[in-house]
Amino acid sequence: MTGFLARPRAGAEQAEADAQRTELTAVEPQSRARGLLGTVEEDPTILARPVPHPAPLVPHPREVSALPLAIEELDTADDFAAISTVAGDLVANGRVAKFLIDRRDAAAPVVRFVNGNYTQNGRTPDAAKYHYYFAQVAYGIPESLDEFNSVTYFTQDKRYIAGTLRTYQLSDSPDPVYGLQFYPQDLIREELVVEAITLLMAKIPIAGARFAFVPTGSQQTTATVADRLADLGAPVLPIDRILDGIRYIPLNTGEAWGYLRIFPPDNDDLSPSDIPVFDELPLDLSVVAGVLTHAVQDTNSHVNLKSKERKTPNAVLRDAARDNPRLAPFADQPVHFVVGKDDFTLEATTDEIVRAKLAEKLSAPLTTLTWQPETALRSFTELASGTPQAAKAAAQRYGSKAANLGFLAHRTVLGRVMDATSPSGTRGYDLVPQGFAVPLQAYQDFIDHPPNSDVKALIDAFVKDEQAGMLAPKQRVRRVEEIQDGIMAASFPPGALEAVRAKLEEVLPGVKKVKVRSSANAEDVKGFDGAGLYDSYAADTTKRDRPIGPCMVEEEDGGDGEVKRKIKPKSVGCAIKGVYASLWNKRAVEERSFARIDQTSIAMGLAILPVYDAESEVAANAVIVTRVLNTDDVYGYSLSVQVGNNLVTNPDPGTYSEVTVAGFYGDDEPMSLSITRFAKPRPDAPQRTEPVLPTERMLELVDLAKRVERAYCRATPGYFDGGCANVAGANGEEKENSLDLEVKILENGHLVMKQVREFGGR
């Protein structure tokens, strides 16, 4: 939230901010005390109360710049609009203005609001962005930045109280709710919340306005004062209730041209020029121009993350329906669709424009993926034996998924149990599963094996037609099914399957149940994560492959509308064929075509490891994205957690995960956990009212993710320009890319790091 406050950094970041202030003030009067932006004596309007004026919702810049920096009182909604800025946090609609309360004289506290639109010489100074620099100007405070943070955020005995006034547009009324809120790590609670809200409400006499206290961290408790807050006219309004009450939630802003398909009957008929409106987001969704859903989406699901990475607009519309007056007139018509922060728009366009826009997207030159020949099968521990950079570089031979497991197993990242000081060593078990990688070359050798020449011919002909744009959707489906059937009936080159079985005996002796996972070169690469495109299959190492007869994939009803794919027979060889065949899934082909990847350059590596529940049942699944999704100025990570083995990335229909923002800035500050939605583990059960995991376990997940991201940054030139020590605490504006980690939590308390990939979306 922007109650998830923007704050200046200490250390190197403070020096940079100091340099920026020096540049700002070079042509301005110098304050005697600070040399910053001018004192009250130099600018007599700086503490002036705004004169009521009819400001529009988004005020004209000239009106904004005429107002002072520090505002005593907000009499009207226009006053708030004039000093507020567009919110850039979890809830896209609304505006925000900061406030700061000076409590140094407890008997006479002083409240001031920050004019976020204040400018000097055409620029917005730090004093209009950050509480600390505002306090220097407005209150002449003597504290250093570190001391200010300590006495403002991390104590109940506060000298200053910093927070934001933020509007939320809920579906129950055309009038906004004004949320009073504090930085997520702020330790403010109970009586001090009442004191702050009392002072603030006296300074915001906006007639008829609705107010609420919005706790942004779990430590901001109000158990003993909730009734008093309600009596003040600011009842407690948790973030999850705000999100539940919002009619429209943009998940990825942008625009698209296509045909509006309201609740399409067959998702396989959708094309890249369609804009479907779904009741609920399907698990497998091919490339489309944009998406609207009636149901809440899991923000960390594969489909949403892919929408962000390929920059297709995606939003939730709670009243989406066939007869929705904003949708119905455009059913099956060509439209221009825009997902904005506050709302979406639809307007009529033409068939010609839709075709032209799609052609424009598909006109970029093809990107050829490179990979290197390799014959050796290597364990993840072997991949981790060199440097972290070398482990990551193994992606050129084994694909990124397998290489990244080697990276995670490195002693300076998560390590092995034998690395005494590593996270695995201190816990007494391996956080990264044992297992091994099968190189990309093994797939190519399989396809090039002379008895499989008919499969190779099918692939070559298909790729030629696909890249020439000659295939209609139903033709594409038929052709990829032919390729997949051919792969399932094909034979391995001499010695290939025997080499896999020998490596199983070496690395996983006695392990009966294994998982054969995809590790394609067209997966987990920069600009194309390939999340959820390919299949993984469980196998029984005691089952021998049939010398004659094809392998088969059977689809079983997993209940609640979910479809489970299983390999038959459940042998290692059939599981490998199943993963190889998944390289040619319809959705994978379409995603690669849309991303302009040369499909003559793709290959499939493998990561083979024990099934995740081999030692204990799965208690929960978690996905951690090392940024706060859908925001620019929020510091922290996004976590999605679900009960049991219901995946966050591909949730069962009718279910959704718990979504939590872990707010933090530096390792020396407390971390907050703000649940923005509780989990719904089963479609026939109500939403939970308690977290899936205890606080200690959530903090552990974040700490491990921080360690991984810092190590990844050091091993990846260009990942982050602000110094790898600071990468975990960077916000969305500062960090171009982030990581996507998948974790399983077992009932015996162990964690299993399933994978890590780089994520380029926001």
492-542 confidence digits (pLDDT tens): 999 999 999 999 999 999 999 999 999 999 987 777 877 778 999 999 999
What single DSSP character describes residue 533? -
Three-state SS string across 410-433, please?
CCCCCCCCCCCCCHHHHHCCCCCC
Q: Is 205's pLDDT higher than 90?
A: yes
Q: What angle do CA 463, 464, 466 make, to 5 degrees?
A: 60
pLDDT confidence of residue 39: 30
Amino acid letter for position 707: R
Q: pLDDT (tens digit, 9 = 90+) per residue, 163-178?
A: 999 999 888 888 999 9
CA distances in angstroms from 82 to 91, 117, 124, 512, 610, listed in the order given: 20, 8, 15, 67, 59
pLDDT confidence of residue 419: 96
Instruction: Please state the length of the chain.
Output: 762
- Predicted TM-score (pTM) of the model is 0.78
* DSSP structure string for 444-467: HHHHHSGGGHHHHHHHHHHHHHHH
The span from the CA of 635 to the CA of 626, in Å, is: 10
* Angle between helix 453-467 and 440-448 (nearest 10): 110
Give the pLDDT mean for 668-693: 87
pLDDT confidence of residue 488: 96
Q: Domain 433-610 in CATH: superfamily? A: ATP-grasp fold, A domain (3.30.1490.20)
Q: In what order do the strands lie in the sheet with 248-252?
A: 248-252, 314-317, 291-293, 274-278, 254-262, 334-339, 344-348
User: Which of 62-76, 329-343, 470-484, 588-602 has the lowest average pLDDT?
Assistant: 62-76
Q: Would you call 99 helix, strand, or coil by DSSP?
A: strand
How many percent of the chain have pLDDT more than 90?
62
What average pLDDT does the chain have?
Answer: 86
No. of H helices and E strands in the chain?
22, 27
pLDDT confidence of residue 762: 66
Q: Which of 236, 242, 240, 239 is nearest to 222 (CA)?
A: 236
Q: Is 33's pLDDT higher than 60?
A: no
Would you state the CATH architecture of domain 618-759?
2-Layer Sandwich (3.30)
What single DSSP character describes residue 367? B
pLDDT confidence of residue 650: 74
User: Which one is predicted more confidently, 653 or 543?
Assistant: 543
The span from the CA of 309 to the CA of 737, in Å, is: 10
Q: pLDDT (tens digit, 9 = 90+) per residue, 242-293?
A: 877 788 888 888 999 999 999 998 877 888 899 999 987 776 677 899 999 8
CB distance 297 to 321 below 8 Å? no
Domain boundaries, the chain: 12-240, 248-361, 433-610, 618-759
CATH level 3 topology of 248-361? Glucose Oxidase; domain 1 (3.50.30)
User: Which of 20-34, 312-326, 682-696 has the lowest average pLDDT?
Assistant: 20-34
The span from the CA of 762 to the CA of 736, in Å, is: 8
